[in-house]
Amino acid sequence: MHLTAPAAERPRTRTRTRDADGMAVASFILGLLGLLVFNVFLGPTAVVLAAVALWRGTARKGRAYLGMGLGVADLVVLLAFLQLDDTLSWSL
C-alpha cells in the first residue's frame, strides 16, 4: 500500500503550486501598478489572479490577499475619480 502519490502526479502538483505562487506575485504587482495607471484594467486583473492563486493553493497567501486588496483599491480609486471629474482616466 502506497501512501504517496505516483511519480507522474508529483511534478504536475509542484508546477501547479509554482504557477499559483507566480499568480499571487503578479496579482500584487499589477494591483500596485494599477493604483498609478490603467486601474480600469489592472484592478480586475489583479483580483482575478489573486482569486485563482488562492483557489490553486498558493504558498504565498499574503501576497495574493494583498493583490486582491490592491485590485479592489484600484477600483475604488477609479470610482472616486469618476465621481469627481466624470471621466475614466486621471493623471497625477
pLDDT tens figures, 11-59: 555 666 778 888 999 999 999 999 988 888 999 999 999 999 999 888 8
Question: CA-to-CA distance for 48 and 17, rounded, in angstroms?
Answer: 17
Question: CA-to-CA distance for 41 and 43, rounded, in angstroms?
Answer: 6
Q: Measure Cα distances from 5 to 1, 18, 33, 61, 91 in Å.
A: 11, 18, 40, 24, 53
Question: Are the CB atoms for 63 and 25 separated by under 8 Å?
Answer: yes
pLDDT tens figures, 51-90: 999 998 888 899 999 999 999 999 998 888 888 877 666 5
